[in-house]
Amino acid sequence: MTDNIIESHPLRPFLPHDARLLMLGSFPPPRQRWCMDFFYPNWNNDMWRIWGIIASCDKDHFVVPGEKRFDQARIEDFCRGCGIALYDTAEQVIRLRGNASDNFLQVVRPADIAALLERLPACRAIAATGQKSAEVLQSLTACAPLPVGGCVEAVFAGRRLALWRMPSSSRAYPMKVERKAEVYARMWDEVSRQDAGE
């Protein structure tokens, strides 16, 4: 049941000027589920374990030792150093069941992806990190359907982009974190090769 409360996005976009990849989720979970004030803040979400495996073959690479929280400063430094920008595909939502599930998330106002790209002149790839974000991204860019783990080419906001659809980092998505990391690593390798002009 819902009171039709419209929530506005609680975080500012994380947009390193030289970012080459923009990762877009759907919308943050309710604040009581947060363990840090950054993207993918839920301790039970595996996004930063996925990137820990990619960065150092250690899923706990971005975990604060002995605590159930992620090291926000370390994550931000990593993303700046690698050229990864972060935001979500929704600016305003209604939680139809009051939880964090994308299945019960009604997008009231999508994010202005074109405006984000204006602040990211080097960005040539966008990764939607789940089904809801992929659906919103597809509707905004009018691109072809996005296959899980794959990408489509599209022209949007005056530039050619590779639009990726990644497995959700939610534990509700039926794939082991190590397997998810393999899929993300393939995407990241492709983005890096394109950036290098290969």
Pairing mode, strands 90-95 and 6-8: antiparallel
Q: How confident is the model at residue 36 (pLDDT cuts 50, 70, 90)?
A: very high
* pLDDT the model gives residue 197: 59
Say which DSSP state 129 is in: -
- Rounded-to-integer distance, Cα 172 and Cα 70, Å: 20
Mean pLDDT of all residues in 40-68: 97
- Rounded-to-integer distance, Cα 2 and Cα 60, Å: 36
- Rounded-to-integer distance, Cα 55 and Cα 53, Å: 6
* pLDDT the model gives residue 138: 95
Could you identify the residue written with the tokens 């920008």? 85
State which fold the 6-193 domain adopts: Uracil-DNA Glycosylase, subunit E (3.40.470)
* pLDDT the model gives residue 98: 72
- Rounded-to-integer distance, Cα 179 and Cα 108, Å: 33
Domain residue ranges in the chain: 6-193
Residues whose CB falls within 8 Å of the CB of residue 86, separated by 6 or more in sequence, listed in order? 13, 14, 22, 23, 24, 25, 39, 79
* pLDDT the model gives residue 1: 45
- Rounded-to-integer distance, Cα 149 and Cα 54, Å: 16
Amino acid at position 90, single letter = A
Residue 110 pLDDT > 90 = yes
Closest by Cα among 121, 153, 148 to 135: 148
Mean pLDDT of all residues in 155-161: 94
pTM for the model: 0.94
Q: How confident is the model at residue 33 (pLDDT cuts 50, 70, 90)?
A: very high
Over residues 74-108, the pLDDT tens digits come to 999 999 999 999 999 999 999 988 776 778 889 99
Residues of the chain with pLDDT > 90, as a percent, come to: 87
